[in-house]
């Protein structure tokens, strides 16, 4: 099974733009186990951009993700923004998903977000019916 739901790309339109494309609060994706809808909340990613990661992501996971996605010392996301990582856990089956977004602030308090990666944590067992 391919655990990567979204793979990074250079050319991509923002999924979220403050004031323009912010009707949707979250990026929806489907859990690979029972096809539940999971949500990557944009505002939470903006809050996480201070540290570059969500609070439930361990330092070790953070470093592994940076390595997996080839984030270098310049700390640039694939499309040129600032990389922010998070972990989303499916409440139904306990599957874990690592998320990677690129965030840009072209104007003060105006944010652009590009969802660059969503990947299931293959080392975590999920609950089955």
- Provide the binding-site residues for Zn ion, judged by CB under 5 A: 31, 33, 36, 90, 92-93, 95
Structure tokens at 84: 């922010």
In angstroms, give the least distance from the CB of 47 to Zn ion: 25
37 vs 51, which CB is nearer to Zn ion?
37
**Would you say 11 or 129 has its CB closer to Zn ion?**
129
Nearer to Zn ion, 41 or 92 (CB): 92
Assess contact for 113 and 103: CB atoms under 8 A. Answer: yes
Burial environment of residue 109 by CB neighbours within 10 A (0 to 12, 13 to 18, 19 or more): exposed
Query: Residue 115 CB, nearest distance to Zn ion (Å)?
Result: 19
Is residue 78 classed exposed, middle or buried when 0-12, 13-18 and 19+ CB atoms within 10 A define those classes? buried
Closest separation between CB of residue 96 and Zn ion, Å? 10
């Amino acid at each position: 099974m391919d655990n990567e739901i979204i793979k990074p790309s250079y050319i991509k339109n923002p999924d979220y733009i403050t004031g323009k494309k912010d009707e949707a609060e979250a990026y929806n994706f489907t859990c690979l186990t029972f096809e539940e809808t999971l949500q990557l909340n944009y505002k939470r990613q903006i809050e996480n951009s201070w540290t570059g990661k969500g609070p439930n992501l361990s330092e070790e996971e953070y470093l592994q993700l940076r390595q997996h996605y080839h984030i270098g010392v310049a700390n640039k996301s694939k499309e040129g923004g600032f990389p922010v990582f998070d972990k989303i856990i499916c409440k139904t089956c306990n599957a874990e998903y690592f998320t990677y977004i690129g965030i840009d602030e072209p104007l003060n308090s105006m944010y652009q977000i590009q969802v660059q990666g969503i990947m299931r944590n293959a080392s975590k067992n999920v609950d089955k019916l």
